[in-house]
Homo-oligomer: A and B are copies of this chain.
Amino acid sequence: MPRVGLKLNQIIQTAADIADRQGAEAVTMAAIARELSVRPPSLFNHVKGFAQVKRELTLYGVKKLHESMQVASNGMIGDEAIFALANSYLQFTREHPGLYEFTIALPQPRDEEIDQEGNKVINLLIEALRSYQLSEENALHAVRGFRSILHGFSSLEQKGGFGMPLKKDDSLNLVIKSFLIGLKQMN
């Protein structure tokens, strides 16, 4: 029994790979162990249990999503920033469908570190909406709306909810464009 040298990082990476390739529900301790050529109990030397694996997966996903959006919108403002954020969000959900599921499955009770990382994403949206000169309250409402659009669209797309053979990116563009036009007339 040679040492494999597992690290928490490898375990989460492996779990994320399984999620993206076989779906979020395929992520099990047994599957991770198989992938790493190790017996399931060995994982418990590095992780408290399956609950922690999911928690780390969520944290990893949110961090990665934030990073993508950060990079994509860097230096932009206004509509340009908003569309850049939307596109990078959608790209992330398409490249990492399984990981994304964990990203939106927030643990109960709330997790300080995950919340903090999630707030960074929200702050990107708040920044991008700044040029709209909304009241503080309306800005928060608008962020919720924008998040709803992004998550709702991604989720429906992944679940196969869009049956019609119609360019999906056009749909997202239209809803965001409409939303922004409406926002401009809000004050």
Contact = CB atoms under 8 A, between A and B. Distances in A.
Interface string A153-184: 10110011111101010111011011111110
A129 to B, nearest CB: 12
Contact of A182 (B137, B172, B181): B181
A178 B145 contact: yes
How many protomers of this protein does the assembly include? 2
A138 B108 contact: no
A179 B147 CA distance: 14
A140 B164 contact: yes
A110 B183 CA distance: 37
A143 B147 CA distance: 18
Top 8 nearest A-B pairs (CB, nearest first) are A152-B152, A178-B182, A145-B175, A148-B152, A181-B182, A148-B153, A144-B171, A141-B174
A164 to B, nearest CB: 6
